[in-house]
Structure 1
């Protein structure tokens, strides 16, 4: 029952994330991706602290295992920045599809750090997912070059966050843990945005944002914080690998948004690659469930 509850919560979280991604994509060319990510988390920090203190008191802000919290914050900051860049360069559905390798990466990290056994079927699913990623990247790699791998790198850092979420279970209330993540991510991204601004590279120059950019970042801050809270609850009420499977709700949502708002549909090969990634994730999920079932009394 807890596995089912965790999956449902993660499903809602990933749906909200896709809606937020569409808002981020709508800001392409209006402001640099690191600045957008920094503003999104900076807005989230005071909102979350007010919510936590009002609902649970100041003592709720005291969370344990600071190094794990630091890792969670840096992981989501890096993942967000890389994925925002990818949204500016790739169609929403294709960038989202590449992010679907996160369940496979999560299972691999679970095997390495949580000592969950990796069966041959899981390794086969890994190679299947990589083949799917290659198919999705094919047209974009020729057009934009190696930066097309940005969503793949973002997926690796997001999977790291999912593993750290499991290790952070019980160290504080869910909303307090989201506040900690934002508190770590915001200054880290401000540093990245500042470095980009002073680098002299024009696309990273940070000017005064239009009010609509601030408003959209505020909306994403609220929806994304809620989404990550739901995903966190999903990983703690089930397993990291189980909750990660809910990511697949993003494909139909992203395809619908891409078609309606951005007038883009993936070609047959990219869509086929997306389905391969989904199949790989589902195989990995079933493999993890068999392992969990075999180990239960």
Structure 2
């Protein structure tokens, strides 16, 4: 039941992230992205402050991994700027499809940086996944825009965030982790605030809803990772594509591109294979450990 709850939380979180991204894309028609980031993060900070006060997490002793949290905040700032910029130029589905490649980068980074074993089958799946990204962007046939480059930057930012969350996700207070994200976003928005202008009253409601939806998604995602393993939570990000295609068509007039959908399906398939491969490897390791423990118990009984 706990695993199922975690998966449901992840589905809800990704739905809220997609809702927030839609509102950001709407706001980007009238406001610079730095102002949108500042407005959204300011609303979210109110919620985070309330949760920190309620959890009594305002003491410095509540922070266990300050360097990792600073890194998480920095990545949040970079990722939000690049993500919002990509949303302002590209259809939602295109941005999501490209950023689905983050787990592939995580697998490569884990092999090189963390020394995790990656056999031939997994390397083939990684190459297939990256070929799906090439199908989506069609280099040589379609011109790559700055929006594409921003989306690609988000792939690496997302991979780095996953690696950090692997390390500190179960150690830090949830409100502290979300506060690091908000601090990073506010810091990243500072260079462009000189371009800001007072929001129209008709847009204030969108800003408030956007901030509340975004911060709710952050908390839900953290809770999902605490209730279910990452291998169960990670595939839920692909539900964003189900949201993005109809919203892009009916709200923004972006017709689905066959090559983007086809490439996204290739990437999704390769990532799901990698996750299933990792799940089976973890199960084998767990059974081996359990068998060794039983053998040790039998030997202790014999000696006793």
For the aligned pair, the TM-score class normalised by the smaller chain equals: 0.7 to 0.9
- Aligned residues of 1:64 and 1:171 also touching (Cα < 8 A): yes
Cα deviation, residue 48, structure 1: 0.9
Which stretches in structure 1 are left out of the alignment for 5+ residues?
A: 198-204
Which secondary structure state, in structure 1, belongs to the residue aligned with residue 63 of structure 2? coil
- Which protein is bigger by CA-based radius of gyration? 2
The 5 A counterparts of 1:36-47 are 36-47=36-47
Are the structure 2 counterparts of residues 243 and 45 from structure 1 closer, same or farther at C-alpha, using a change threshold of 3 Å? same
Quote the offset at 1:167 in angstroms: 1.5
**Which one is further off, 249-258 or 7-16?**
7-16
2:176 and 2:140 map into 1 onto residues whose CA distance is 39
Change beyond 3 A, Cα 1:216–1:114? farther
> Within 2, Cα distance between the matches of 1:80 and 1:248?
19
Residue 220 of structure 2 corresponds to residue 221 of structure 1: no
What is the Cα deviation at residue 7 of structure 1? Answer: 3.0
CA contact (8 A) 1:103 1:241 kept: no
How does 1:14-33 map onto structure 2 within 5 Å? 14-33=14-33
State the match for 1:274 in structure 2: 264
Structure 2 matches for 1:166-205, cutoff 5 A?
Answer: 166-186=166-186, 188-194=187-193, 197=194, 205=195
The reply on whether 1:292 has 2:292 as its aligned counterpart is no
Q: Distance in 1 between matches of 2:76 and 2:242?
A: 24
Q: Do 1:136 and 1:271's aligned partners in 2 also have CA atoms closer than 8 Å?
A: yes
3-state SS of 2:37 partner: helix
Q: Does the 8 Å CA contact 2:86/2:151 hold for their aligned counterparts?
A: yes
Cα distance in 2 for partners of 1:160, 1:58 equals 25
State how many pairs are aligned.
286
Change (3 A) 1:144 1:120: closer
* Secondary structure in structure 1 of the residue aligned to 2:27: coil
Distance 1:24 1:189 in 2: 16
Change (3 A) 1:91 1:83: same
Asked if 2 retains the 8 angstrom alpha-carbon contact of 1:165 and 1:236, the reply is no
The answer (yes or no) to whether the contact 1:7–1:242 under 8 Å persists in 2 is: yes
How far the C-alpha of 1:180 sits from its partner, in A, is: 2.9
Q: CA deviation at 1:154?
A: 0.8
Equivalent-residue separation in structure 2 for 1:126 and 1:213 (angstroms): 43
TM-score, normalised relative to structure 1: 0.86
- TM-score normalised per structure 2: 0.84
Q: CA-to-partner distance for each residue in 1:200-241, whole Å, 9 max, x for gaps?
A: xxxxx3233323444323222211111122222233444445
Task: State whether residues 41 and 185 of structure 1, in contact with CA within 8 Å, keep that contact through their aligned partners in structure 2.
Answer: yes
Q: 1:89 to 1:74 in 2, by over 3 A?
A: same
> CA separation in 1, counterparts of 2:114 and 2:223?
18
